[in-house]
Structure 1
Amino acid sequence: MQPLRRADPSSIAGHRLLGRLGAGGMGVVYLARTPGGTLAALKIVRAEHAADPGFRERFRRETRTAGRITGRWVVRVLGADPEAREPWLATEFVPGPSLAEAVALHGALPEPTVRALGARLADALADVHAAGLVHRDVKPGNVLLALDGPRLIDFGIARSAGATALTATDAMIGTPGFLAPEQARVGVADEVGPAADVFSLGCVLAYALTGERPFGTGAVAAVVYRTVHEEPDLREVPDTILPLVTACLAKDPAARPTATEVRAALGEAGGPAGDWLPPGLPALIARRSSRVLDLPVPEPTVLAAPEPPAGVSRRRVLAAGSAAAVAGAGGLTAWLLGRDPAGKGTGTGTGGGAALPAYTIGVLTDLSGPTEEAGRAQERGARLAVETFNARPDRTFDVVLRVVDDGGDGKRATAAARTLLEDPGLVGVVGPTTAPSVVAAVAELVDRSVPLVSVLAAV
């Protein structure tokens, strides 16, 4: 993932942009956070392409197609606007690597992993086909690996079986090396049905088992020729799964098994995946997930009132609205989104333009010492949660974040806590990252009736 560029917007239709996941000639895919707090992959089409009626119609079709797929092993659509000046589509974000990246980093995958992978991809394709659709681009780059199983993505060229093609009649649809022979024959796109996805799935299974494409590499024309006229190279595929892969790669679509039959042959697809990934990949997924939580976010701009209004206790405000502070640990932001501000089901919001009262949440953490990485994660998680809370139209108060650095040192934590106590609106503090700092902060804060929320396993 790359950082946002100066020309990038900060938000799209209420989705807060956090970084760039990819870019191409047609548009950009951003990592974004939805108005509800969910991470999303948001695809936006450049305005010059959206001005093409044919391209916009294809994007409308992609949006409709993706919205019809609701299976467990496909990414969910979270929102879309194909009619916007720059059309966009937001789908569930999966922080894991693609199958292509996993094989490039770790080599061929063990057969138990591939069986679990194949069963779940076949289950996803069975749902796709049951909805009357054909994916048409099943490949390792469109398979993301999550801890609980794979996810099939990118329905950009999927379409209903038998529907009129919107692509040029002489265009080859799919990815050479993973497309079916019938997809390689230009001018016969209407003949491409569910069996083409099964062929592609067979290529994916062979690739995952051997680390090599079954029809080789090289010039596109050569790969396509081998796909149509020659047999795949399956010498390294284990004998226990070879008959199934061979059947999937039959040249005749009618000779291939259905996605449902592939799923049945590979085993259970609906249960928990458990430890299906080989050593190394779970750690990679965990690192990427933590990097998402550690993304920098801009400083929120809020109006701070000098004193809290009478009748509202500090403890009550902390319990009702300071889930932003709890989220300083980085992973609890969603808790804030499910609660009502100040314990009320409805609020006055910001109607009439009147300034709302404001309360301060302190972040007392290590930003320059031995646990700086954890401290930065706390700070950024808190900023993100506070910003999300302050964007709620039904809130009855604003939250101001004040951050001080203790360097992981107890003496500095004492001074930092006293600095925070100078703020009359302080209602709570997100705790430090070291035991000496926690002990020092408690000594200063608790006697002043200021709660301290610390996420530290050692204390």
Structure 2
Amino acid sequence: MSTATPPEPGALQPLLPSDPSVIAAYRLLGRLGAGGMGVVYLGRTANGELAAVKVTHADQADQPDFRARFRREVEAARRVSSPWAVPVTGADPDAPEPWMATAFVAGPSLGEAVTAHGALPERSVRLLGWAVARALAAVHAAGLVHRDVKPGNVLLAVDGPRLIDFGIARATGETALTATDMVVGTPGFLAPEQAEARTGAIGPPADVFALGCLLAYAATGRPPFGTGAVDALMYRTVHDEPDLTGVPEGLLDLVRACLAKDPAARPAAAAIGLRLVEDAPGDGAEWLPAPVVRTIAERSARMLALPEIDATEAPTAPAAPPAKSRRGFLLLAGGAVLAAGGGVTAWAALDGDGGGDGKKKTAPPKARRWTIGVQADLTGPGKDIGRAQERGVRLAVERFNARKGRPFTLDVKVSDDGGDRHRGLAAARALTGDPDVLGIIGPSSDYAGLVSLPAYDEARLPVITVSAGLNLLINPSAPQGLSVLRACSTHSYASMFLTYYVEAKTRTARPGLVQERTDDAYSWQCAVSAKFAFGQAGITVLPRVIPAGAKRLEEVLGELVDAGIDTYVHAGTAPSAVRAAKELDALGFTGTRVGGQHVFGSEFVEGAGKAAEGWIVGAPVVDPATRKQAAALMAAHRKAYGTAPAFYTGEAYDVTNLLVDQVVKAAKGGKRPDRTTLTAPLRAAKYEGVMGGYAFTEEGNLDGVSTFVYAVENGRYKPLEFAPAAPPKKAEGT
């Protein structure tokens, strides 16, 4: 079983009523993570040793070949003997729910550390590479290929890193259980032969290529082939040179050698260790920067504060106190031993009974709240959209609370992610970690939403977004986005539908298309879909790609106009669209000009001024003023906020009402519903809101609705109509 890396130990979740309390010799203390394949628990043996216990779902175990794959994973991990690879401490592939336990490492993954604290200094990178190279040498010596070396699969401990997750490891040359056209690995950290699914060519050099990507990432804070859509990442991996800007001079030659396109030109893992470092991580933490050490110390302290193991039998007599060993978790850093006291008392306080002696130390806990969560950008670049959605949620909750005979009263809890991908996961966990939150409206932005997925998937808490359109937010093949409902079109479909509209309303024959890579994933999805839609009509596009920051934009626009384009399609952000509008105006271009969701908004019309007039812009929202069904919402918004509702307010209002309706249905007899059961009925629901109808596919994407089209007129967005979800029919004889 290959699962996503578990969430950080600091986010340990309590066991659910359906969870076992014991797996073999491991008493389970909480959940480290969960996904479509199973659950990862934090377990502890009688002598106090901690382990990550991976347990598969029973329905997975019944699938053909599953046990063979799981058994192979266990055997692969056991065959690797290295101090830098996490060892297997127990397993049972033949259990009704197969499980495997590995030694638990309290430190963060490399990905978490770099995201939180930035790139590592050169010595840290050298020591990291030395240890991971030695682990890979042991993998290869065992006749295996890891095939998924990535930042999430390298954990950082005070005495050095640890390589984890052998879920897709294979014996060299083994292909029997892998489809020949299946891409295995993590885009951005896989070799060209993996990206092209050349199964027979995947061997130890593929791991070396991934190690090169890992070193570049650790040294610069970014993957060497960029980020964005999967197809774009794999294309760059196969055809483009890596971006190694910022890699220290002393590491450049080795990293370049690891990233050779030809597997035969890459060095062996054993040789890499010799080239990287003259010393090795010691017993202390001096090999890591101080902020990372503090993170490890905090997590280790939490492990020290875990409760002692309770008796698992019926409580007939007091059990003898278990051993209090915390072997492996006394953290030596800077000569000081980090310890944490009061573990049992602190843990008992989480249960709300105030003490562990059977006597209540505090007043009884207050009644549980029924809360709707909101994750949105309230202070960052998308704050207008985020605030509009927050207001929509609050108005829907106020409407419900004003009902006579309501079965309960609702609260709203808001978590601001600032539209920042580095804050998204923490903002999501502030909501998913609150047991009173029954569902979430949001996130309002793409990338904060994307990094929030581990929290959503772990909690299985329903999350409904009306504006995050990245394809990967819901990805059944991963799987990820297990509890997400997207009440808007993806950027890919929205761009395709908008192109169909342009084809139907104009006689374009020579469109120009600019893909601006400031927001690479969004612009790539828009550009590819627009080109595809034009191609369906037999129209050849003049495409151009410009770097982030819209460098060379004006020069490229001049080339396109000189080439005779009659339509301009902007696959990019609002700031570059402002520049494009002004430059096209200066060039005297009078053809159709088109932009997508990330152009739509006040920044474009205010920034471009008169040059914005006539632009056609698509967005996944309807103007509330055009909907008579939204009259009550309009009045309530004016009363509460003194203005008419902004775009996205109505959609957030609708999906909140949809969520509340399902909560009411699940709360029969006043019983509080299990929030983890709400996603399925939400995806099956058909709801008619004030802004229109909502229905979802089985995976959680919006079904049957395209994108709305606006024209800029007198400095405002004039509503036109929904873009068609199919290409226009050709007239006979054409």
Same fold by TM-score greater than 0.5 = yes
CA contact (8 A) 1:120 1:269 kept: no
1:280 counterpart SS class: helix
Structure 1 residues 179 and 303 mapped into 2: Cα distance closer, same or farther (>3 Å)? same
- Which of 23, 28, 36 is the aligned partner of 2:34? 23
Structure 1 residue 294 displacement after superposition: 2.1
CA contact (8 A) 2:305 2:341 kept: no
Aligned to 1:196: 206
Percent identity over paired residues: 60
Aligned to 2:343: 377
Structure 1 residue 238 displacement after superposition: 1.2
- Which of 253, 256, 278 is the aligned partner of 1:243? 253
Aligned to 1:82: 93
Whichever residue aligns with residue 377 of structure 1, its letter is: G
Structure 1 residue 156 displacement after superposition: 0.2
1:97 counterpart SS class: coil
Structure 1 residues 136 and 376 mapped into 2: Cα distance closer, same or farther (>3 Å)? same
* Deviation readout 1:172-196 (Å, 9 max, x if unpaired): 010000000001112x212100000
Aligned to 1:213: 223
1:42 equivalenced with 2:48 (yes/no): no
Structure 1 residue 298 displacement after superposition: 7.3
* Deviation readout 1:140-191 (Å, 9 max, x if unpaired): 00000000000000000001101134122221010000000001112x2121
1:12 equivalenced with 2:23 (yes/no): yes
Aligned to 2:64: 53
TM-score normalised to the size of structure 2?
0.43
CA contact (8 A) 1:183 1:196 kept: yes
**1:100-139 equivalent positions in 2, closer than 5 A:** 100-139=111-150
Structure 1 residue 283 displacement after superposition: 1.4
CA contact (8 A) 2:155 2:162 kept: yes
- Which of 266, 277, 281 is the aligned partner of 1:256? 266
Aligned to 1:230: 240
CA-based RMSD = 2.8
Aligned to 1:287: 298
Structure 1 residue 295 displacement after superposition: 2.8
Structure 1 residue 304 displacement after superposition: 4.3
Distance 2:203 2:100 in 1: 25
Structure 1 residue 402 displacement after superposition: 6.2
CA contact (8 A) 1:115 1:266 kept: yes
* Deviation readout 1:119-158 (Å, 9 max, x if unpaired): 0000100111111110000000000000000000000000
Structure 1 residue 60 displacement after superposition: 0.8
Structure 1 residues 264 and 273 mapped into 2: Cα distance closer, same or farther (>3 Å)? farther
Whichever residue aligns with residue 201 of structure 1, its letter is: L
Gapped regions of structure 1 (runs ≥ 5):
306-320, 335-372, 383-400, 408-459
TM-score normalised to the size of structure 1?
0.67
Structure 1 residue 4 displacement after superposition: 1.2
Whichever residue aligns with residue 59 of structure 1, its letter is: F
Distance 1:24 1:112 in 2: 36
Aligned to 1:167: 178
2:155 counterpart SS class: strand
Aligned to 1:313: none
CA contact (8 A) 1:169 1:189 kept: yes
Based on CA coordinates, which of the two structures has the bigger radius of gyration? 2
CA contact (8 A) 2:205 2:264 kept: yes
Whichever residue aligns with residue 152 of structure 1, its letter is: L
Whichever residue aligns with residue 47 of structure 1, its letter is: A
Structure 1 residue 269 displacement after superposition: 6.4
CA contact (8 A) 1:323 1:333 kept: no
Whichever residue aligns with residue 188 of structure 2, its letter is: G
2:250 counterpart SS class: coil
* Deviation readout 1:430-454 (Å, 9 max, x if unpaired): xxxxxxxxxxxxxxxxxxxxxxxxx
Higher relative contact order (CA 8 A, sep 6+): 1
1:241 counterpart SS class: helix
CA contact (8 A) 2:73 2:167 kept: yes
CA contact (8 A) 2:309 2:322 kept: no
CA contact (8 A) 1:293 1:381 kept: no
Range with bigger deviation, 195-204 or 288-297: 288-297
